[in-house]
């Protein structure tokens, strides 16, 4: 049974005009794009999405950044999608991400790291539901 994960192309990558390159990579890696939209998050929507990090010292900077411009939000589908998408993204800090990973290729800093992916089954379900209503 294929699994879904939530992927976000963050404002830094949209500004850099690498959306096409990232989506090509997603398709080349064998993911199916089940849902996709371009949205400009309000500060409150960004805070709601990253609520698990609300006690972290980077929370306000992160949510300001995530609401600073449009993002591309996708539900990606594949066997083992959560783990595989994290592998394609690379480590959170682009400087530590393996060569060829999206964050190494397109990320700028630990905050402006080009892409997001869910980290576990329950988070993936919650994150996909945060952006996409269930199909009827
Ligand atoms: P993401 O995968 O979207 O999940 C949480 C985000 O918080 C992470 O990517 C980074 O953009 C950001 N983040 C994580 N750690 C730090 C940090 N130490 N400083 C600033 N931002 C961070």
What CATH number does residue 12 fall under?
A: 3.30.70.141
pLDDT at 53 exceeding the cut of 80? yes
**Nearest Cα residue to 121 out of 73, 91, 97, 85:** 85
Q: Is residue 136 part of a domain?
A: no
**Nearest Cα residue to 81 out of 37, 38, 132, 29:** 29
Determine if ligand 1 sits within 6 Å of the CB of residue 58: yes
Q: Is residue 107 part of a domain?
A: yes
Residue 4 has a CB neighbour count (10 Å cut-off) of 24
Residue 96 has a CB neighbour count (10 Å cut-off) of 11
Residue 67 has a CB neighbour count (10 Å cut-off) of 18
As a whole number of angstroms, the distance between CA 69 and CA 8 comes to 13
Tokens of 44: 């409150």
Closest ligand 1 atom number to CA of residue 65: 11
Atom 2 of ligand 1: nearest residue by CA position:
116
pLDDT at 130 exceeding the cut of 60? yes
Say what the pLDDT of residue 1 is. Answer: 76
Q: Is residue 51 part of a domain?
A: yes
Q: Is residue 54 part of a domain?
A: yes
State which H helix or E strand residue 72 sits in. strand 71-78
* 116 is annotated as an active-site residue: yes
Closest ligand 1 atom number to CA of residue 113: 11
- Interval 64-93: pLDDT, tens: 999 999 999 999 999 999 999 999 999 999
- Interval 32-42: pLDDT, tens: 999 999 999 99
Domain count of the fold of the chain: 1
- Interval 87-112: pLDDT, tens: 999 999 999 999 999 999 999 999 99
As a whole number of angstroms, the distance between CA 58 and CA 136 comes to 38
Q: What is the mean pLDDT of residues 20-48?
A: 98
User: What's the domain range around 33?
Assistant: 3-131
Query: Do the beta carbons of residue 50 and residue 66 sit within 8 Å?
Result: yes
pLDDT band at 134 (very low <50, low <70, confident <90, very high): confident
């Amino acid at each position: 049974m294929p699994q879904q994960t939530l992927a976000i192309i963050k404002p830094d990558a949209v500004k850099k005009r690498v959306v096409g390159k990232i989506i090509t990579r997603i398709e080349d890696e064998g993911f199916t794009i089940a849902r996709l939209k371009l949205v400009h998050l309000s500060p409150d929507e960004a805070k709601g999405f990253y609520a698990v990090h609300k006690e972290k010292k980077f929370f306000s900077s992160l949510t300001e950044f995530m609401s600073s411009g449009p993002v591309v939000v996708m539900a990606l589908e594949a066997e083992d999608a959560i783990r595989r998408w994290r592998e394609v993204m690379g480590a959170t800090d682009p400087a530590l991400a393996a060569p060829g990973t999206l964050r190494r290729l397109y990320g700028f800093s630990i905050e402006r790291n080009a892409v997001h992916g869910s980290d576990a089954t329950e988070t993936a379900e919650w994150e996909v539901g945060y952006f996409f209503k269930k199909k009827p």
